[in-house]
């Protein structure tokens, strides 16, 4: 059992969007948050909340070891809560998708989470308590056109979530994936022009006609909503939830 002020939390991609909202939620609850990003925005945010910052490009396989060592040192040798959030988007048909970009997306959103999970598990096992929260996506359970790499990574992340959950449950560690539909983030906003081009529609039509078309609730999710769910999963109240792909999909999969 841990109280919020005792938690040591690593959030990847915490410079903006969902990652920043998650980090803020834990900071406001009194946790020590290690902020990860590879942009100045991450460092600025960490400085603004008085939390340690670790910089690293998750697309570089060999850089993950250095990053995790620095994060663990900043946290006094243990991470209680790992939030694998970092990611990016590229929209293109399969036959036009740049292979290097495809591989980079798999590294950032699937291989890097595996590397980070592997790094934090020993301390979690020793203390017999831990929370691993993977920020997945509705695209971890369904597909949409022109997102082959992103969807492959997110489907794989759910598989990693389930497998790890089964392996570590006896140690008091839970592992879950949050699967939101489109969230109002810079990552989503950056897709609008390319989605409009590929679909042959006006940019103003992308959100209602593409992003929200399958949803029952016709709005974007706010980052703070995802952060609140992540906070709940990190609490002792959620200790019976593990191995789950938890939908925040505005009713998308109800059909």
Active site residues: 150
Q: How many Cβ atoms sit within 10 Å of the Cβ of residue 173?
A: 23
Q: In angstroms, rounded to a whole number, what is the distance separating the alpha carbons of residues 249 and 88? A: 19
Q: In angstroms, rounded to a whole number, what is the distance separating the alpha carbons of residues 53 and 41? A: 11
Backbone φ, ψ for residue 76 (5° rounding):
75, 25
Helices 223-234, 17-28: axis angle to 10 degrees equals 50
Q: In angstroms, rounded to a whole number, what is the distance separating the alpha carbons of residues 108 and 239? A: 28
Q: What is the DSSP code (8-state) at residue 177? A: E
Helices assigned H by DSSP within the chain: 17-28, 40-49, 64-74, 99-106, 112-127, 148-168, 186-189, 192-199, 203-206, 223-234
Q: In angstroms, rounded to a whole number, what is the distance separating the alpha carbons of residues 76 and 143? A: 41
- Contacts of residue 239, Cβ cutoff 8 Å, sequence gap at least 6: 172, 174
What are the Cα distances from residue 108, in Å, to 89, 187, 193? 11, 14, 23
Backbone φ, ψ for residue 239 (5° rounding):
-65, -15
């Amino acid at each position: 059992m841990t109280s919020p002020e005792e938690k040591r939390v690593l959030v990847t991609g915490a410079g903006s969007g969902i990652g920043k909202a998650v980090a803020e939620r834990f900071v406001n609850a009194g946790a020590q948050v290690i902020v990860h990003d590879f942009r100045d925005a991450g460092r600025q945010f960490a400085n603004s909340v008085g939390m340690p910052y670790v910089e690293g490009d998750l697309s570089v396989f060999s850089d993950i070891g250095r990053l995790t060592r620095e994060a663990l040192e900043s946290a006094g040798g243990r991470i209680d809560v790992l939030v694998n959030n970092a990611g990016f988007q590229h929209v293109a048909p399969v036959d036009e998708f740049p292979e290097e970009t495809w591989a980079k997306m798999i590294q950032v959103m699937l291989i890097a989470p595996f590397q980070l999970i592997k790094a934090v598990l020993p301390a979690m096992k020793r203390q017999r308590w831990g929370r691993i929260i993977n920020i997945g996506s509705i695209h971890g359970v369904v597909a949409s056109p022109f997102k082959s790499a992103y969807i492959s990574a997110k489907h794989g992340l759910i598989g990693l979530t389930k497998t790890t959950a089964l392996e570590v449950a006896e140690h008091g560690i839970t592992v879950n994936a949050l699967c939101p539909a489109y969230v109002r983030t810079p990552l989503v906003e950056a897709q609008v022009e390319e989605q409009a081009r590929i679909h042959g529609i006006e940019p103003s039509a992308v959100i209602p006609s593409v992003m929200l078309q399958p949803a029952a609730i016709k709005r974007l999710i706010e980052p703070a909503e995802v952060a609140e769910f992540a906070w709940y999963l990190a609490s002792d109240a959620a200790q019976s939830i593990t191995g789950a792909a938890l939908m925040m999909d505005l009713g998308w999969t109800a059909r």
